[in-house]
Every structure is written in C-alpha cells, then in structure tokens.
A = this chain, B = another copy of it.
C-alpha cells in the first residue's frame, strides 16, 4: 500500500481512469447513519431505510456496510440473515460514502487504485454542513487499505464523489455551482507563502466561479479521473447543502447516453435548473466527439417535506444546521445507484414513483437491451431527511 501524492504522479500519468458506474463492480460501500443531529429519531428510521437499500443492492453486488464501534453489534444483528452484506467497523462523522468514499480508478489491465480526495464537510468554514469532518476525511484511506490498493492523495483540491459523473470513455460531467464554489477548491488551495503552515490560510486562492478556477479544476479532473473532457452544467438543484451535486441532476446511462431530470411545471422549484441542464447536455459532445443523447427523467410531483415530529427529534448541536419542517427537501429520482445490472432507485410515496421506475426501465431497455438492467425501487424519504439519497449513500468499487 503506497500513497501516491500529486507531486509524484496522477492516475492519468499512470494510465488509470475512473470506470463508469455501469462497469462491473466488486462491491458497494456504505456507512451506517448515526448522527443524532442529522438524522431524526436517533437515526433509527434512517437506519431501517439504509438497511433496505443495502439489501436491494446485495441482490446484485456484495455490500460493505461500515459502522462505528458503538453501532457495530446492532448493525451486524440487522444484517444477520443477509449473507451479501458484510459489516465492517469504521469510524465516520456522517454516512455519505458517495462523497467521502474513495473514487476507484483502473488501468484496464487488472490494476486498481484509489483516489482519496480531500473532503471538508461540503464547504469547510465557508459553507460546510458539520464540524469536525476528520473521520470522514479518513474513510477513503481506510477503503484503500481494505481494498489493498495504492492510493492517490491529490493536494490542493477538494471534491465529493457526488459532484462528478463519468462515462468511462473520457468524459466527466460536473456543475459550476459546486466545483467552482467558494467553499471547495477555491478556498482550499494553500497559498504559496503559507505552504509550511499546517493550518493553511483559508484565503481564497481562486475567485469563485472564475475562469482561472475552471481551468484549474478542468486540469485536475483530467489528471485524477483520467478523462479528456469536462462538461460543465451551470447549476444543480441543491444549492444550500451539496452546492448542486450533479448526481441529483444527470447521469450517464451508457457512453454517449445520459438521463437528465425534467419537469414541465414552470412552478416547480427547480424548473429553470432542469431545463438549463437539459439544454447544456443536449448540446454537448463527449470526449469521443459524440453528441449526447439525453433522456428525460421526471421529478416527484410534490416536494418532500420533513414532518415536525422528525424535526423536533433531531439533536441540537451548535456546529450543525437545525432542521425545519417548512423547507422543501431535495428529492430526485436521478439519485439512483447502478450496480451490476441493478438500478436501485429512490421512492418517495409520490404519484410519480411508478412513472420514474417505468421511465428508467424503458431507458435502460432501449439502451442496453431488455433484461440487461432491472430497476428496483426502495422507499428512501428518511434518507432525504438527512440530505441525500441512494446514490449519495453508496460508493461502488469496480472490479480490476
């Protein structure tokens, strides 16, 4: 196990790239939710839905469910009859392995490595969501050790896995809103005169949303994901928490084929963002010069709200944002996981639940042929209460 720092090398320089989510996977990593200042009712309702997600995944791919020591015995008991879910001890701050987990890269010749991004709780001291985040920052290292793979540790860059989607053939799609925001790489790059200070100055090294930052991120994404082209979507639909992660907005179905959220209702809170993203993607060409085919995926008809009893049950912590019941939560059918022939899709009890599953099944059937993918719905509004969904709480590890 070796750490490969930015100054030494990059995945691209070594012939590695991030495979698409529809590539063959070895396992899916998840973390067991536990924060009583994030999750309602002592995290018990969320744990029950995480467990259902894990069981749905395990029909297709083995799951490593990572639990803190204090939760270990109970978590193992939950999965006692699930041979496909392995319960692993791991200390975590929160339970979003898409964002805190390693991004695995492969070389197509049997080699696999991990990229261990810097993580700062979704914006650090600029607009982060919790403090401290040191345990979450170690998750990708621990995953690399358990996967027995070498690890890249990019300096001077902050990234969450939910803010990227790749086609495995040279293209990544991201949002300006997240990657160019002041709380990510813009403020995390160590200014030169400060490089020996272990507490680097949190001065902005880049002006947020500047061309200079876009260029910097483009180069780093190419180097660490092994891609040739970065497609920039302007905004996502979750401005305040993830700063607009792409995984609520669009994903690759296959090389050259994407799905993007869509609504025809101009009163829908993120009507403009849906249409702009769709436009951007429909007019984009990928790294191979292909014009993208973009499917439309409906949004839930009704926004999801947290009930007052759930809000009242959340522990109060001066470092965490309090929850209120009159704010619409971010619920998108796009936040599904693709895993070895399974499409594990959020369900909200919304009138569009069945339509989302039908639409996705049709998209996958048309793209890959009937029987290649099975779309499975899992009720997950408790995960929405915490701020994400099925894609946010999972991280695939590809086969080498």
Q: Give bound CA distance, A1 to B87, whole Å.
A: 9
Q: Kindly state the separation between the CA atoms of A2 and B82 in the bound complex, as whole angstroms.
A: 8
Say how many copies of this protein the assembly contains.
Answer: 2
Alpha-carbon distance between A62 and B147 when the two chains are bound, in angstroms:
13
Q: How large is the interface on A (under 10, 10 to 19, 20 to 34, 35 or more residues)?
A: 20 to 34
Instruction: Provide the bound-state CA to CA distance between A87 and B138, in Å.
Output: 12
Q: What residues on B are CB-neighbors of A203 within 8 Å?
A: none
Selecting from A14-22, A69-77, A310-318, A346-354, the interface stretch reads A69-77
Q: Mark A116-127, 1 if CB is under 8 A from B, else 0.
A: 000000000000
Q: How far is the CB of A105 from chain B (nearest CB, A)?
A: 18
Q: B89 touching A1 by the CB < 8 A rule?
A: no
Does A83 make an interface contact (CB < 8 A)?
yes
Q: Are A135 and B69 in contact (CB under 8 A)?
A: yes
Which residues, 111 to 151 on A, are CB-close (under 8 Å) to B? 135, 138, 141-142, 145-146, 148, 150
Q: A83–B1 contact, CB under 8 A?
A: yes
A22 CB to nearest chain B CB (Å):
25
| Nearest B residue to A65, CB-CB | B145
Residues B1 and A86 in contact, CB atoms below 8 Å apart: yes
Contact B90–A89 (Cβ < 8 Å): yes
CB distance from A148 to the nearest CB of B (A): 6
Q: From known contacts A135-B69, A146-B146, infer whether A2 and B89 are also in contact, taking CB-CB under 8 Å.
A: no
Q: Is the CB of A141 within 8 A of B86?
A: no
Q: Are B88 and A145 touching (Cβ within 8 A)?
A: yes
> Are A89 and B91 interface neighbours, CB within 8 A?
yes
Q: Does A80 contact B (CB under 8 A)?
A: yes
A86→B148 contact, CB < 8 A: yes
A85 on the B face (CB < 8 A):
yes
Residues of B within 8 A of A83 (CB): 1-2, 150
**Closest Cβ of chain B: how far from A67's Cβ, in Å?**
10
A282 at the interface (CB under 8 A from B): no
